[in-house]
């Protein structure tokens, strides 16, 4: 195996380690037996609704056991195997096991494990199983990097969103992204002309630089510089888990030259495997490209994409296709009398206006992230939120443990409600005088006050 391929696998092992440790820190609160969306209930419901088809729809080892102990074993085993991979031992065996475990977690994680970096990790992990020094297999990683970046740019224009087309998107992005960093506050203060130039730079890198991925070595180096530079800027201004690290790691393949002498040593079986994997990836991604650009697909092709999608081995990508221009935030409160309300403070998402935006990546606090998505819709569109509120009313320790503080340490509140506030960054003057990073204004009720049903005897 070439030195660059070996380096890539070590970094991939590190990314897997981060992903499993992050999962372990929040698994029971999110999908445990007393969590918001218990994996056992989800799988049981799928099996009741779909019968044997459920196993193909939701490929996960947790069909065998989805208890809290099984979740714990999964993340500990995943972390241990990732360390072995990072150290350079039993690479192919480790890669197969890591893919199986992380795919299983992504499936069982439901709404909380449906992010771009989750599918990027499963696709990268799948290709890594076949990685060696042969140019054909390294080329598949370039194709993945091309799709990741070009699709991310294309969806911004295909969506018809006016902020991307008039180059004003970054005037909003630093404020409205899910979990900004402190640097995002400063970037937001920059003048409009700079934001428009930055937006043009982002679109240029995402739409044009990917074509240099397949150019001669000198141009590939230029592409790597642009793509890595963009990822570093994203990393500095937003918390996107391990996404930036994994995207930068893929750029390693832009520095690898073909090795013709090694190619002559390939066996017929080796070439056959390379062709089979390449055919699978190219056919699937080609159909996805056609679908993305609204080309009509035959029914057979549409059915194929539907059947293959649960395995997350070849995927479509595209972040922030439509730029949000305001920042609604949900504030969850509890009360024992329905009159005096105390707010639950989240660990990372905006709450207290004097708390600075946090640095949290490469860990991803998935409840905080889902609260951002929930605020863009209604409680009816985010049914997991009802379960979250119910767990707060029950005082579920794993769920309360996901929060920064519990305003009801003596026992759960009788009522829970949620309000929507409009959050905005302060400016330099306001921050100097008040110490606040945010200013907010109440907008609406997200969830009216609710309580648990009491048994008839208790009433």
Q: How far apart are CA 241 and CA 18, in angstroms?
A: 9
H or E element in which residue 439 lies: strand 438-450
196-209 pLDDT per residue, tens = 999 999 999 999 99
246-293 pLDDT per residue, tens = 999 999 999 976 554 444 567 999 999 999 999 999 999 999 999 999
- For position 20, what pLDDT does the model report? 98
Question: From residue 355, how far is each of 328, 345, 348 by CA, in Å?
Answer: 17, 11, 10
| Residue 82: pLDDT over 70 | yes
- For position 264, what pLDDT does the model report? 53
Q: Own/partner pairs for 62-71, CB < 8 Å, 24+ apart? A: 62/104, 62/107, 62/108, 66/39, 66/40, 66/108, 67/33, 67/40, 68/28, 68/32, 68/33, 71/27, 71/28, 71/31, 71/32, 71/39
For residues 388-406, give the mean pLDDT: 97
113-161 pLDDT per residue, tens = 999 999 999 999 999 999 998 999 999 999 999 999 999 999 999 999 9
Share of the chain above pLDDT 70, in %: 97
Average pLDDT, the chain: 95
Contact 361, 235 (CB under 8 A): yes
CB count within 10 Å of CB 267 equals: 8
Predicted confidence band at 457 (pLDDT cuts at 50, 70, 90)?
Answer: very low
What the block records as the tokens of 398 is 């794993």
- Write the CB contacts of 227 (distance below 8 Å, at least 6 apart in sequence): 145, 149, 205, 209, 247, 248, 251, 254
297-339 pLDDT per residue, tens = 999 999 999 999 999 999 999 989 999 999 999 999 999 999 9
Predicted confidence band at 3 (pLDDT cuts at 50, 70, 90)?
Answer: confident
Q: How far apart are CA 348 and CA 220, in angstroms?
A: 38
- For position 455, what pLDDT does the model report? 52
Contact 77, 101 (CB under 8 A): yes
For residues 54-68, give the mean pLDDT: 97
Give the least confident one: 14-18, 227-231, 317-321.
Answer: 317-321
Least Cα distance to 211 among 254, 240, 176, 177 occurs for: 254
Contact 343, 332 (CB under 8 A): yes
pTM of structure: 0.96
Least Cα distance to 26 among 369, 446, 418 occurs for: 369
| Residue 347: pLDDT over 70 | yes
- 458 versus 347: which is more confidently predicted? 347
- For position 262, what pLDDT does the model report? 46
Give the least confident one: 23-32, 217-226, 264-273.
Answer: 264-273
Contact 43, 57 (CB under 8 A): no
- For position 419, what pLDDT does the model report? 98
Contact 331, 349 (CB under 8 A): no
- 109 versus 459: which is more confidently predicted? 109
Contact 47, 170 (CB under 8 A): no
- The order of strands in the sheet holding 415-425 is 342-343, 328-335, 415-425, 438-450
| Residue 385: pLDDT over 80 | yes
């Amino acid at each position: 195996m070439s030195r660059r391929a070996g380096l890539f696998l070590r970094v991939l092992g590190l990314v897997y380690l981060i992903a499993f440790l992050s999962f372990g820190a929040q698994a029971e609160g999110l999908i445990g037996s007393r969590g918001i969306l218990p994996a056992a209930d989800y799988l049981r419901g799928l099996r009741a609704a779909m019968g044997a088809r459920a196993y193909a729809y939701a490929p996960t080892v947790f069909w065998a056991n989805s208890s809290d102990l099984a979740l714990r074993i999964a993340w500990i085993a995943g972390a241990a195997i990732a360390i072995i991979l990072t150290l350079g031992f039993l690479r192919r065996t480790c890669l197969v096991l890591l893919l199986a475990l992380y795919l299983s977690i992504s499936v069982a994680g439901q709404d909380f494990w449906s992010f771009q970096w989750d599918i990027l990790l499963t696709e990268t992990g799948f290709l890594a199983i076949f990685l060696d020094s042969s140019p054909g297999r390294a080329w598949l990683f370039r194709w993945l990097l091309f799709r990741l970046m070009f699709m991310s740019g294309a969806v911004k224009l295909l969506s018809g969103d006016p902020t991307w087309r008039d180059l004003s998107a970054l005037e909003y992005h630093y404020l409205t992204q899910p979990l900004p960093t402190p640097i995002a506050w400063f970037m937001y203060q920059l003048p409009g002309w700079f934001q428009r130039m930055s937006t043009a730079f982002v679109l240029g890198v995402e739409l044009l630089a990917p074509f240099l991925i397949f150019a001669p070595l000198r141009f590939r180096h230029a592409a790597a510089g642009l793509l890595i530079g963009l990822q570093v800027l994203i990393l500095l201004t937003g918390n996107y888990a391990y996404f930036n690290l994994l995207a930068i790691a893929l750029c390693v393949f832009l520095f690898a030259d073909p090795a013709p002498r090694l190619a002559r040593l390939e066996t017929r079986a080796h070439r056959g495997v390379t062709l089979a994997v390449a055919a699978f990836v190219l056919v699937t991604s080609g159909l996805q490209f056609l679908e993305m650009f609204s080309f009509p697909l035959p029914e057979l092709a549409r059915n194929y994409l539907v059947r293959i999608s649960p395995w997350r081995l070849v995927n479509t990508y595209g972040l922030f296709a439509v730029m949000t221009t305001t920042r609604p935030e949900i504030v969850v409160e509890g009360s024992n009398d329905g009159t005096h309300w105390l707010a639950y403070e989240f660990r990372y998402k905006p709450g207290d206006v004097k708390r600075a935006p946090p640095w949290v990546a490469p860990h991803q606090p998935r409840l905080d992230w889902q609260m951002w998505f929930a605020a863009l819709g209604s409680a009816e569109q985010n049914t997991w939120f009802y379960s979250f509120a119910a767990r707060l009313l029950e005082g579920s320790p794993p769920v309360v443990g996901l929060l920064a503080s519990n305003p009801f340490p003596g026992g759960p509140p009788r009522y829970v409600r949620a309000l929507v506030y409009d959050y905005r960054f302060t400016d330099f003057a306001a921050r100097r005088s008040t110490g606040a990073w945010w200013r907010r204004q109440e907008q609406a009720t997200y969830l009216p006050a609710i309580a648990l049903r009491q048994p008839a005897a208790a009433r």
